[in-house]
Every structure is written in C-alpha cells, then in structure tokens.
Structure 1
Amino acid sequence: MKLWGGRFQKNTDRSVDDFNSSIRFDCRMYKQDIRGSMAHARMLGKCGIISEADAKLIQKTLAEILDDIEKGLVEFEVDAEDIHMNVEKILISRIGDVGKRLHTGRSRNDQVALDIRMYLKDEINNIRDMLISLEKVLLEKAEDNLDTILPGYTHLQKAQPITFAHHIMAYCQMFKRDIERLEDCFKRTNVMPLGSGALAGTTYPLDRYMVAEELGFAGITENSLDGVSDRDFAIELASCLSIIMMHLSRFSEELILWSSHEFSFIEMDDAYSTGSSIMPQKKNPDVAELVRGKSGRVYGNLMALLTVMKSLPLAYNKDMQEDKEAIFDSVDTVKMCIPVFTRMIATMKIRKENMYKAAQGGFTNATDMADYLVKKGIPFRDAHAIIGKMVLYCINNNKAIEELSLEEFKNFSGIIEEDVYNEICLEKCVSERKLPGGPAKESVMKSISNLKEHLASLKQSL
C-alpha cells in the first residue's frame, strides 16, 4: 500500500503509477531531499515534537541511506512515485515506526519546494563557476590580441577598425552580466519554504528558522500558500540560462563565420572540429554549431515553465511536477555547453594577418577620414557628404581611400594635406579611440584590469 493510501479501496492502475511517477527525473535531488529531512528531524527532536532518541535514529539512518545511494546500493521504485516517498519508504523499512514520524509537520508540497530550491542553489553556483572560468580564458585571449586589428561590423558590413581584444571584451561584458543575473536569481532562490505544509502551515510548533539556518538559507518564505506554489525562482533561472545561451549562440555564430574560408579569421583546433563523411577536405565547427542549436531547447524550456504556471490557482497543483524536467534540462544543457565552449576558445588559432587584411578593405577608415575634415573646420554633415563621394570614387576606380594620391584627395577638398595618410592608417584609427570603453589599447587594458578585479572580488560560492 502507498504511504498515502489510507482512504483508497483500490490500487492505482499500473499505467497511472507510471504516468504519475516522477522518480525517473527527481531522483537527482536525493542528496538535497535527505539533507532537508535530516534537518527537519533534528528540529522535530529539539522542539519536542518527537523524542530526541527518535530524531537521532532518523538522522543516523538517513545518513546511511545517503551513503548507500551514492555507492549504488539503492534501487528506486516507480510505485513510490518520487524521491521523497522513496527515501521515506526505505527509512521505514529499516527502522519501522520511528521512520514514520519523520513526516510530522511536513507535506510533500513544501518538501519538493525545499528540494528544488536547494538543488538549484547548488547548480547556480556550478554554472557561475563555469562562467568565471570562461571569462578567464577570454581575458587571456584579449591580452594576447591587444594589437590584433580586425574590422568591426554593423549589419554584417565592414564598419570601423577595432582590435580582436576589444571584440572579445564585448563578450566578457555579456558573461559578466550573466554572472550578476545568476547571483541575483540566487537571492530569490535562497528562501526556505519548509513549514508551509500542504498550503496552510501546521499546528506543530516548528522552528523554521533553525532549519533554514542549518540548510544555509538566508530566510524563510513568509506566506504558506506562496511557499508551496511559487516557481518564480525556477522560471527566473530558466530566463538567466536562456540569456547565457543567447550570448553563447551569438559568439558561436561569429566563430562559425570567422572559421569559414571567406573570413579565415580563426581556425578551430582539430580536437574541437569534425569532418565530413563524403568531403575529405572539410573541417566543420560542429561544437559552435551545436551550442548555437542547443539555445533553442533552453528557450523552449523557459516557455514550457511559463506555460505550465500561467493559469494555476493557488496552491499546489500536480501540473507543477512538470517544472523539474524543464529546468533540469536547461541546467544540464548549459553545464554541457560552457566547458566545451571554453576549451574550444582556449585552443582556437587566431589568424592575425587575415584579420588585418580584412580591416584594410571595405573603407573601414572612412569615418576617420570624415573626422579629419571636421578637425580642419568642416561641419560633420558636410564632411560626411564629401567622404561619401570619395568612397564612390574609390569604388569606381578600385582603390582604397589611403591609396588615393594627394592630388586626388584635393579634388574633394583643398584643405587635405600630406598628414592625411597618417591620420587614416588603421593603427591610428584604433589608437585614437581612447575613450573609456573604446578599442584603443589603453582603454582595452583598463577594461581587462577592471574585469580581473571584479572576478577576484567574487566570493567562491554564494
């Protein structure tokens, strides 16, 4: 008989057992479930709700069950439905009636809310650490490429010369925000719901603050209905993970383009590439493509969670069992993507000469040419029009701006002098953009230094 089967006269249909059971996916929370139960038992004993002797026996046996699970000696049962009932059933089988006292003052509703919060707190820390490791690899790449010039793009059209370091640091800022979002999400996950009961708390004099402190929570939920029915923290984390995947996907898209023959800005290491079954010359950026593709499933999980929760009345509903597979899959996917992406970045080859050559084409110094005229006293809009005509002339004559003779320059404006060649060389175009956040070497070095200090200031765990 099931532990909740007292009012039932028939056994659950086998197909319903399979349909209703969540043990196949919530078994991963066994450690959190047992830790939560041990804290609950300790509190029950201290508060005199059960005897101290019973509380200690329950804690001791739960610790043994945890050890057995980690040794692979426990086989979970579908009939027991979920991780909570499986652990409790094993406990009762080992210590009899004493084990039946564990669930005093507790419901599976607040128990699962506790478990998933504890589990996601651990995973937020894990993913945060992975992002920090990625940031460190990106910083190394940036420091190695402070003078590596490549074209910056808008609309995927060559725009202005920048450095590869500056480009890499843009992604560093994205991942920095991702870390901050995870830290903020952690705050709302770090609230202890145990004691909410099924929905209305309990008449037992539980010490919720004691349990919260023992389990490392910053506080307790302040409304029992909300305590069991809130999944905002899971949706928020799913959103954070979706944004992380969006950043990884954008980066992957650029890496895929850059590794093509048409760009040839980078070459993926053989260990992070694959070949073709029919075309022997191929070297495919499959890792980057898979990261790009997996962003879709993480987005889908976010939409699934929002849809599950969108019309649920208070308090707990069985629909909420659907939260776990979605958020677990998002966590697993992100944890799979970040490390392999990090190693792919660390091992890729930067083709500096090709980047520089690409920056020489496409009139990336046109804005600097216009600025040259402005510094000579011509209003910017007039300068813009002059350089537009100059670019058209260059296109028609198959020349770059810097390849024009001084005589040709003067056909567009008589104030242009010999110094123009220095002003529009790529190195000068980059080095003069010294504003904070700009691509000039000193600006990028300052950005690198700031991020290093920020990473060093982060706590090891939240």
Structure 2
Amino acid sequence: MRWHNLYRRWVLQRHFRFAKEHLGDHFFDALTAYALGLGKLGIVEAKEAAWALSQLRKDPIPGFSGQLEDVFFTIDFYLRERFGSEVASALRRGLSRNDLDLTVFRAYACERLLRVLTSLSDLRRELLGLGQNHRQTLLTAYTHHRPAQPTTLGHYLTGVENLLSRDYQRLRSAFQTTDKCPLGASTLAGSPYPVDRKALAQWLGFGGTLEHTYDAIAAGDWALEIAYALAGMATSLSRLVADLLFWAEQGGFLVAEKISQGSSIMPQKVNPVVLEHVRGFLAELMGGPTTLGHLNYSTPFGDVNDHGPGVLEPLYNLFYAAEGAVALLRVALQESRFVPEVLAQGLRDRSVLASELVDVLVAGKRLSLAEAYPKVQGMLRELSSKGRTVAELGLDDLQSHLGFGDPELLQALEPERFIARRKVLGGAAPEAQAVYLDYALNRLKLERLELKELKSRRRKALRTLAQDPLSLLGEARSQSPIQSYRA
C-alpha cells in the first residue's frame, strides 16, 4: 500500500518517528500482555506470540519505510516474518488499535508523570531544607508590591512548599486517572474473547482497569487533566520565580555563575538567566490546557483515538517543560545564595511594624482599635513629612503622638519580637516553624514512600513482561521456545 507523499510526510512519518522513539517498549508490553490474556484462555499460538514478542523486542524497531503505516503494523509484519502467520494471527484475535493505542498512550503518560512527581518532590525537599536553615533569616514580606510585615525566609520558603504540596496532589490525582488500563476493550464493545482485563492491567503495572469498554477507547479527559495539573503547578512555581527575580534584582538572591550568563556589551552584568528559562518553560505549561482542550472539544465519543498521536506530542512537550522547569529551579536554589541583610533591608525604617504598634496599644488596653489605628497612621504621615522614619522614634515622640511613652511600645518596633509573637499554627515564630517543618517533612516522607512503591510496581511488572512473560502463566522458561509448543 502506498500513500500520498504529503500524507506520508505530515502524518505517517511524523507519528511513526515519535512512536519509535518514545513508545516502542510500551507497544511490546501491551501486545505481550494481550497475548498472555489469550494464552490464559488456552490459545496455544497466543502463548507462542508472547514468547516471540519477548525475542523480537531485543532488536530495534526498523525506521519508517513507507510500506507499513505505524509501529503496530511494523511489529505485526516482523512477527509474521520471523515466527509465522499462525503466531502473528493469534495475537490479532479481538485486538484493536483503539484499545492498544490508548493502553500505550496511558502507559507512556504514567511513566512521564512519575518523573514529574519525583522532580517536584525533590524540589519540595530542597525548599524544606532551606526553610530549616533560614528559620531566623529576617525577610521583608510584601503585599500589593509594597513592604507589609516582617517574617523569615524560612517561613516564606516553607509556605511555598505547602502550596506545591497541593500541586503534587493534583498531579497525583491526574496520575490516578491515567493509571487505568483500557486493554481488552477492543474497538469499543469489548474483546469477543473473554480475556481477564484485570490481569492485563496487573501484568502491565497499571493501578486498575478502565471500567467501561466504550469509555476506555473514547476517554480524552486523562490527558486534559494532566495538562491542567501541570498548568496549576506552573502557576505556583511562577510566583516563586517572580520573587526570586525580584530579590535577584535587589541583590538579595545571588544566582551562581555556573547558571548565569554575562552581557555581550556590559561587562559588569551577571544575568540570572536560569530563572528566565524556568519562566519560559512555565509559560509553555500554561498553554497546555488550551491545546488539549481543543483536541477533545466536539470530538465524537469514540473518535479520540484518531488524533491520539496529536495528543501525545503536546503532552511530550509539556512533560519536557515541566521536568526542565522544576530541575532548573531546584539547581538554582541549590547553587545560589540568599543575602540576609538585603532581604531584611525593608525592615530598617521599622514602618512595616506599624500594625504591631497598633496591636500592642489595643492589647494593653491603652486605646481601642478605633482610636489606635488613626493615631498611628497620623504619626506616620507626620514623620514622613519631616523626613523621619519609625526607627527614629523616641519615647517623647510616642507620648506626643499616641499619649503613651512606654518602653514596651518601642519594643513592639523590633522585628524579632514581632515574629516571636506569631506562635499560631503555621505562624512565623520559631516554635511554629519547627512544628510545621516536622509536619511537612513527615508528609513528604510518606509521599516519597508511596512514589517509590508506584515506580517499583510498574518496574517489576514490566521487567517480567519483557524478560519472562510466560512465567506470568505459571510456565517455566524452558517451556517458552516455540518449538516446545509445537513438539
């Protein structure tokens, strides 16, 4: 069969190249599992096909020749050529490219999602480590692009980690949606052979079986859910990047030279370009839901497989951007250095402690809130008009403006005291930070153990499927060669 050159170029060759590079093992896995499913029903030639596939996969898949339209038909051709038509034909019983392709696509997406989850977990561990080291590093916190209150760098970094923990759960949920096996659904109504679909899923290392055969080949929401979860993560990471760039601009975050670049004309410049590249990757992730949404929108139920390869290429780019962004951000935090005196410079004039002064006045029952707030605000305005700062206030000033000249009021203007009073759950006080760190580290430990188990489950299942598939039917290696069946 020959295709038009343009169709070969823009569709067949492109999709074949992608499948050969990224999906080959997944095709062999799915085909082997289905052969075992048929073999379990007593179809001898199917057992032969399972063993034959374990041999055929040892050789690289040939490139696109123009004679065979995709990787599946290429495997089918060489299976027939090397092991005979009976073996190849047995594998085709009840098998459709609909359930085969969707099984392969989901297996690939699960593999890549596990890599993203691992990278994000590593970044969160880095943030918690830095949070531990910087629990007492004073930081001027901003709201509405203006200095707001004192906190610590550790409190900030662990706050970001808490946000990312929810992104992790959204990605974990997307993995759970994707981690279901469509194999055995055939075209849409189900295989005419009563293959054990739960066994197929288990052999392939999936966490479960997609419950409905029509939905199994029609579902496109799994890819869309991945895209949305990655976009959500990108949104969170972009906020951290924005702050790091702001601090880098001020000199409060010195990006390491090995991940910076100089200027072609200005010798004094060392540009924190690693963060700009992260920002670029994150922008790619933000576009993912639009692409995946349009690929699903108004597609008749059951036709999603027709643009399946068109889904995987955007997903590949999203996974690449996600891993790149997280890896670069983690190395930026590892290799670079925070400058405490710069991060705290917004605290020098003590203006960010005005709210604490109001609170101490009210808590000490000196003034009501309705009285204290305007008095402190008026004092700040008068100081500003005279070119003075809160840090220059004396007891006489407090007496004059507020009616009280207590030393306790001056103590309220110390950042360390402000932080020490914030002992509530999740607060900035050292004790509260310590409690949160214990909680967050334990949460991360449990998540990493689960992640390790997920990867181990898939790795063990696929290793057996590739190296000794017939053992899954309780048959020894010595029985696996085709000759032993035909003897």
The answer to whether TM tops 0.5 is yes
Alignment partner of 2:49 out of 58, 62, 73: 58
Unaligned runs of 5+ in 1: 2-10
Shift of 1:306: 0.3
Letter in 2 for 1:235: L
Q: Residues 141 and 165 of structure 1 are in contact (CA less than 8 Å); yes or no, is this contact kept in structure 2? A: yes
> In 2 relative to 1, CA 120–361 (structure 1 residues): closer, same or farther, beyond 3 Å?
farther
Match of 2:59 in 1: 68
Aligned residue number for residue 302 of structure 2? 315
CA distance in 1: counterparts of 2:239 and 2:73, whole angstroms:
43
Cα 1:171–1:66 change in 2 (3 A) is farther
Pick the aligned partner of 2:33 from 29, 39, 44. Answer: 39
Residue 260 (structure 2) aligns with: 273
Tell me: CA distance 1:80–1:385, structure 2 relative to 1, closer, same or farther (3 Å).
farther
Distance in 1 between residues matched to 2:222 and 2:406, nearest whole Å? 63
Q: CA deviation at 1:326?
A: 1.1
CA-to-aligned-CA distance 1:14-40 (integer Å, 9 cap, x gap): 222233321222330111111111111
Q: What are the Cα deviations for residues 33-64 of structure 1, in whole angstroms up to 9, with x where unaligned? A: 1111111111111113x32xx33432233223
Q: Structure 1 residues 80, 392: closer, same or farther in 2, change over 3 A? A: farther
Could you say which residue in structure 1 is the equivalent of 2:468? none
Tell me if 1:399 matches 2:392.
no
- Residue 291 of structure 2: which of 288, 295, 304 is its match? 304
1:358 aligns to what?
A: 346
Quote the Cα distance in structure 1 between the aligned partners of 2:4 and 2:442.
60
**Pick aligned residue for 2:103 from 76, 97, 114:** 114
Cα distance in 2 between the residues matched to 1:112 and 1:123:
17
Q: How does 1:79-228 map to 2 (within 5 A)?
A: 79-97=67-85, 98-228=87-217
Give the deviation of 1:139 after TM superposition. Answer: 1.3
Unaligned runs of 5+ residues in structure 2 are 455-487
Mapped partners of 1:107, 1:401: distance in 2: 75
Report how far residue 202 of structure 1 moved: 2.8
Pairwise CA distance, 1:399: 2.3
Alpha-carbon separation, structure 1, partners of 2:320 and 2:453: 19
Identify the range of structure 1 (364-373 vs 296-305) with the bigger mean alpha-carbon deviation. 296-305
Deviation at 1:362, TM superposition (A): 6.6
What secondary structure does 1:26 align onto? helix
State the alpha-carbon separation in 1 of the partners of residues 210 and 30 from structure 2. Answer: 16
TM-score between both structures, scaled by the size of structure 2: 0.87
* Corresponding position: 1:293 with 2:293: no
Give the structure 2 partner of residue 425 of structure 1. Answer: 414
Count of paired positions = 445
Describe the SS at the equivalent of 1:67. Answer: coil
Distance of aligned partners of 1:81 and 1:277 in 2 relative to their CA distance in 1, 3 Å threshold:
farther
Q: Note if contact 1:302-1:326 (Cα within 8 Å) is conserved in structure 2.
A: no
Do residues 24 (structure 1) and 17 (structure 2) align?
yes
Q: Which has the higher contact order (CA 8 A, sep 6+)?
A: 2
> Structure 1's 110 and 419: CA in aligned 2 closer, same or farther, altered over 3 A?
same
Counterpart secondary structure, 2:261 = coil
AA matched with 1:287: V
Cα contact 1:160–1:365 (8 A) shared by 2: yes
1:96, distance to aligned residue in structure 2 (A): 2.9
Partner residue, 2:320: 332
Per-residue Cα deviation, 1:337-357 (whole angstroms, up to 9, x for no partner)? 211211110111110111222
Q: 390-399 or 232-241: which moved more?
A: 390-399
RMSD: 1.7
SS of structure 1 residue aligned to 2:59: helix
